[in-house]
Structure 1
Amino acid sequence: MSSTTVSAHSDIGIKPMSLWKSPLYIADLPGAGEFNEALRDLIVTRTVTDPEASNFGVISATKANQDILSWEHPAVDWFKTQIMGAVSTLTAAVLGDAAGEVTQGVIAEAWTVVYAEGGSLRPHTHHDSAWSGVYYVESGDAGGTGDAGYLQLLDPRPAAIAREASEGVFRVEPTPGRMVAFPGWLPHSVQATLTGGGRRICIAWNVAYDKDWTGMR
């Protein structure tokens, strides 16, 4: 079965891409470096003290900081703006001119994931969310070997896979400053990072819509 890979050197703009007839957003955000340094320090410090930190669904990794969107810091404000940019772009790709009617009632949640060497994430979906995404703060070192640490988006069509009519896996390289977003129902996972590849830090997020709410919460 073949696959498609988006590497760190791909020509990627802030635009939706087609993936099994569903939209996919990939953007290497300009100016992300200065914010990533602050985000990294905040995440590392607060993960250690978060009483609700867990390893649910992950291997050799820690999920924490479910209150990150409420942190008062310019880097977090910038990150929330990037979520809205991804959501607005994807919604416009699906609804066209009607997109403005739904992007005002956005409910967003986010959490951090710190992967140790060999860390991975099991295949899953976020079925109760309209959109899901991941932002890479620190990527570690894949060492140029295979797809270690890559985000893997899986074809949701069982019949297509059974008939070998699918590319099977769409892989995205974890690059600092890269935002990836997709429908919440799309199955995805994270390939294990390399032993000796160092730490990797990302922020995962979900978005749903609430007609009775204006703005992000």
Structure 2
Amino acid sequence: MKIISQPLFPSVVWTTLLDDHKAFNSQLMNQVSALQDIDPRGVDNTNVKGWQSPNTLQNLPAFEEINRRILQVCQRIGESLHFKSGQAYHLQAWANVSPPGASNKIHYHANCHFSGVYYISLKAPECGSIYFRDPRVASRMMTWPVEQITDFTAEEIQMRPEEGRLYVFPGWLEHGVEENRSDRDRVSISFNVLAASR
């Protein structure tokens, strides 16, 4: 008897590693540090014991190149999903500095097609992984009697951060970031992207 599995309604995380990330990240670190010097308090959102800039990186010339790259990746993903041609991709981005002990509470981003994070500086694996919660958890009627967790039976899946790696995922996918247990700051840029008619 042949059993065929057919994945339905997959939750996808797209990822890419920037080829020139070492030199590029050095420049980004300087720009994020300058932002933090100007506004040492930052804003309070899902960050716990960390610093977050206002959601204005898309308006700052110093971040033009990372903004361009994020939009380029999201546009290619949109094309692969057969988004309507001629869509304008609108970005909102912010910087995160998570010192030892900092984390991000689980959350999602409403009113956007894509969310994501780009990692500038960290010490893996102690810096803490980004994790995603199964969107079906609320409707599950019982747990799976498994000896080993798989992607299908897991309630959360972790993905280890890597300097220079960009993660993109649907805005509705719940996610958080584990506590930074390293002796270095975890520095990243997070973003939301909305595709809309021009």
Fold match by TM threshold 0.5: yes
**Is 1:53 paired with 2:42?**
yes
Q: Does 1:211 align with 2:197?
A: yes
Residue 26 of structure 2 aligns to a residue whose secondary structure is helix
Aligned-residue offset at 1:54 = 1.9
- Counterpart residue type for residue 47 of structure 1: Q
Shift of the 60–41 alpha-carbon distance from structure 1 to 2, 3 Å rule, reads same
Classify 1:129/1:161 alpha carbon distance in 2 versus 1 (closer, same or farther; 3 Å).
farther
Aligned twin of 2:23: 34
Shift of 1:161: 7.7
Once the two structures are TM-superposed, the CA of residue 174 in structure 1 deviates from its matched residue by: 1.4
> Which structure is larger by alpha-carbon Rg, 1 or 2?
2
Structure-1 residue corresponding to 2:131 = 152
Provide the residue aligned with 2:183 in structure 1: 197
Structure 2 unaligned spans of 5+: 1-6, 145-151
Cα distance between partner residues in 1 of 2:39 and 2:170: 29
Cα deviation per residue 1:132-174 (whole Å; 9 max; x = unaligned)? 010000113534xxxx510001111123484436222221111
Corresponding residue for residue 70 of structure 1 = 59
CA contact (8 A) 1:155 1:166 kept: no
- Whole-angstrom CA distance in 2 between matches of 1:61 and 1:48: 14
Tell me the percent identity: 22
SS of 1:129's equivalent in the other structure is coil
The structure that is strand-richer by fraction is: 1
CA contact (8 A) 2:103 2:179 kept: yes
Q: TM-score, normalised by structure 2?
A: 0.83
Q: How does 1:1-217 map to 2 (within 5 A)?
A: 21-50=10-39, 53-73=42-62, 76-95=63-82, 99=83, 101-102=85-86, 104-143=87-126, 148-158=127-137, 159-160=139-140, 162-164=142-144, 166-194=153-181, 196-212=182-198
The alpha-carbon deviation at position 20 of structure 1 amounts to 6.3
Shift of 1:80: 1.9
Distance 1:207 1:49 in 2: 26
Q: Quick one: which amino acid aligns to residue 167 of structure 1?
A: A
Cα 1:78–1:167 shift into 2, 3 Å: same
Structure 1 stretches lacking a partner, 5+ long = 1-17, 213-217
Distance 1:161 1:168 in 2: 13
Q: How many residues align?
A: 184
Specify the SS of the correspondent of 2:71. Answer: helix
Contact 1:153 1:189 in 2 (8 A): yes
Supply the distance in 2 between the matched residues of 1:19 and 1:176 (Cα, whole angstroms). 32
